[in-house]
Each structure stands twice: as structure tokens, then as C-alpha cells.
Amino acid sequence: MINVAIICGGRSSEHEISCVSASGVVTAIDRSKYNPSLIGITKSGKWVSLPTDTKFEIKDGQLPEVPENAPAIAIDQIKADVVFPILHGPFGEDGTIQGLFEMLDIPYVGNGVLASAVAMDKHFAKQIFIAHGISVAPGVVLRKGEEIKDHGIGYPLFVKPARGGSSRGTHKVKSADQLVVAVNDAFKYDSKVMLEKAIVGREVECAVLEKDGKVQCSVPGEIQIDSKFEFYDFEAKYLDNATTVVAPANINRTSDLQEAAIEAFIALGCSGLARVDFFYTDDDAIIINELNTMPGFTPKSVFPKLWGVSGLGYTEIISALIETALNKSN
């Protein structure tokens, strides 16, 4: 029996979604092969031991979190053959905790230090995509203290934290008088903010998985949201049941999109898994939006949904990720 420590929570603004993802994995993991334990990281950064029957769920708009009063646990008390860090955002998806496991020589699920760090910073990731000939939305970077202006991008445009996630701090800006407020809000989440031209197109996503030593891509899925939302923001994703995933997506360039997803995965040096998000325009252009190295992983999240349509179940995905992590360490 392989001992798997599932880690959730963390100090980022995506703490709550991480908790829900972890509950899904603990419930679905193949108990005939794996013995799971659940480790939480509180919002203050305390590591705690949690019962594996802990239920984290979004209920009536209320978001769960790791309790601060749970029993503390030291890292050297974690008895695991492999770690599954279901952590989103800074201090979890950005290479920091991956570096910790590397130093401790503990196998872990997902991307390594460099890929995690680069993908977390959308600005740096874009430079690599451009170098590999992958189309991106035009944009600029603003840092705190710099003059807030659109730099000729024009409106509408998107404002987003360079190292954020789950669309926290992201705004669609339609005019100059909205820009300062949007940028200042984004600065609450990061000291570096991106301004990007709003691409008119459909939002299409691919799930990339490393299984049996081979990088594979799911069928693409189109994200359709309720018309009351301007874009695919945090509320639309998680709180309002306003999102529908249409898979396979009805597009003309399915194989090209899958190839672009795998190319982006390889370009950043990814391993294990990633969700690659694109814009697909009316003239069939493919423009990458971002790559997520630890995408939402609840049973209802896009990543497992796309693989479900592609013929791979939630439990099978979990097993594939664990086996890849163990083989990577050998």
C-alpha cells in the first residue's frame, strides 16, 4: 500500500478552492492501492493534520477553509511515499512548496520548481510562449508606483494580477475611467499587474496529462457562462452555477488546439498535468490565455470533466498522477 499525503489550503487567495479539490481527491482515490492522509495549511501558514473524512464544500455561497485550531504537524512527521499538493496560487503552485519537497527528497504530484514558477507568472510564461511561436494577447505589465495608463492597448481590456489565479482581482475594463480602480484592486493580489487586450472569441480549454510516460491531451471543452457575467470570473466559476462546459467543443481546429496545448506544456517544461486555456476566434485563430499547473481539481472542475469525456475517470486520473510522480523520482 502506497501512503499518499494530500496537502490543501495554503496562504493564497485560492485557499478555499484547494480545500474543495482535496476533498474530491480523498473521496475518489483508489483505496485498494493508496492509503491517503490529509494535511492542511491554514491561511496563516500553519501545517495541521486533518481527518480524511473532513468535508470541504461550497455550500450556500459559503467557502470552506482549513481550521486554525486543528492539531499542528511538523513536516518530518508526515509519513508518505508521495505527496499530492493540491495547492493553487502563491506558496503552492509557484514552485515554493515543490522546492521544499525536492530538498526533502519526497516524490510529489505535478510540475517541478521551474515550470511551476514560470507558469505562475503569466508575464514570464507569455515570453516563453512567444518564443515558441504560440500566439498570445497583446499586453503590458504595470508595477506598483508606475503610471496607470492603457499604453495604447485600447478598450475593452483585461486587468489581472500577473501571479494570481481563479480570476481573483481580474477585471474587464471598458473605459479609461474604470482603469485606475481595476488596477488598484489587482495590486491587492500582486505587485505586478498585466493589462491585456480583450480578445473577442470563445473560451476553450484543454486538459494535458502525463500518463504512462506519454503526454496526452483531452478533447477541448468550451466554457459557456451565463450572460449576466461579463467574463469567466471567480463567482461564475465557483459560486453561481453559471458555467457550462461543452465537450467536445464544436470547433474546426480540434487537433491544432490539442497540439498547441501539448506544445505549451512542453515549452514550459511541465510534468504531470496542466490545464491550458485558449481563446478561439471567429476566424479560427488560436490564442493562448494561460497555462495552469495545478488546475481546479474538484469532481466538477474542468480538468476532470474533459478527461471524463475523453474516457478517463476521476479515480483513474488520480492514479495516473501518483504513478507518474513515483516514476519521476526513480
Give residue 3's pLDDT.
97
Judge whether residue 234 has pLDDT over 80. no
Q: For the domain with range 139-197, which CATH number is right: 3.40.50.12240, 3.30.1490.190, 3.30.1490.20, 3.30.1050.10?
A: 3.30.1490.20
The pLDDT-based confidence of 239 (bands split at 50, 70, 90) is low
Cis geometry, peptide bond prior to residue 36 (ω within 30 degrees of 0): no
> Under a CB-based contact definition with an 8 Å cutoff, are residues 67 and 85 in contact?
no
Provide the mean pLDDT of the chain.
91
The pLDDT-based confidence of 330 (bands split at 50, 70, 90) is very low
Residue 310 CA to residue 205 CA, distance in Å, equals: 13
Judge whether residue 193 has pLDDT over 50. yes
Give residue 228's pLDDT.
58
Which of 14-23, 47-56, 165-174 bottoms out in mean pLDDT, i.e. has the lowest?
Answer: 165-174
pLDDT in tens, 171-181: 999 988 899 99
Judge whether residue 156 has pLDDT over 90. yes
pLDDT in tens, 46-60: 999 999 999 898 877
Residue 229 CA to residue 38 CA, distance in Å, equals: 35
Give residue 243's pLDDT.
78
Pairing mode, if any, of strands 2-9 and 82-85? Answer: parallel
Sheet harboring 192-197: ordered strands across?
Answer: 139-143, 192-197, 157-161, 171-173
Residue 282 CA to residue 72 CA, distance in Å, equals: 53
Residue 4 CA to residue 78 CA, distance in Å, equals: 10
Judge whether residue 254 has pLDDT over 80. yes
CA-angle at 289, arms to 112 and 304, nearest 5°: 60
More confident residue, 300 or 82: 82
Beta strand extents in 114-156 (DSSP E only)? 139-143
The pLDDT-based confidence of 315 (bands split at 50, 70, 90) is very high
Q: How far is CA 17 from CA 187, 237, 322, in A?
A: 21, 10, 21
Mean pLDDT across 195-212: 95
Judge whether residue 14 has pLDDT over 90. no
CB count in 10 Å sphere of residue 284? 11
pLDDT in tens, 108-138: 999 999 999 999 999 999 999 999 999 999 9
Nearest to 296 by CA among 272, 311, 274, 280: 274
Class of domain 119-135+201-329: alpha beta
Cis geometry, peptide bond prior to residue 248 (ω within 30 degrees of 0): yes
Give residue 241's pLDDT.
63
Judge whether residue 141 has pLDDT over 80. yes
Give residue 140's pLDDT.
93
Which of 13-22, 31-40, 161-170 bottoms out in mean pLDDT, i.e. has the lowest?
Answer: 161-170
pLDDT in tens, 71-96: 999 988 998 999 999 999 888 999 99
> Under a CB-based contact definition with an 8 Å cutoff, are residues 195 and 142 in contact?
yes
Mean pLDDT across 306-324: 97
The ranges assigned to domains in the chain are 2-109, 119-135+201-329, 139-197
- Which residue stretches of 136-206 are H helix? 176-186
Give residue 238's pLDDT.
52
Give residue 166's pLDDT.
60
> Under a CB-based contact definition with an 8 Å cutoff, are residues 18 and 43 in contact?
no
Class of domain 2-109: alpha beta
Q: How far is CA 211 from CA 57, 69, 85, 214, 329, in A?
A: 29, 38, 18, 5, 15
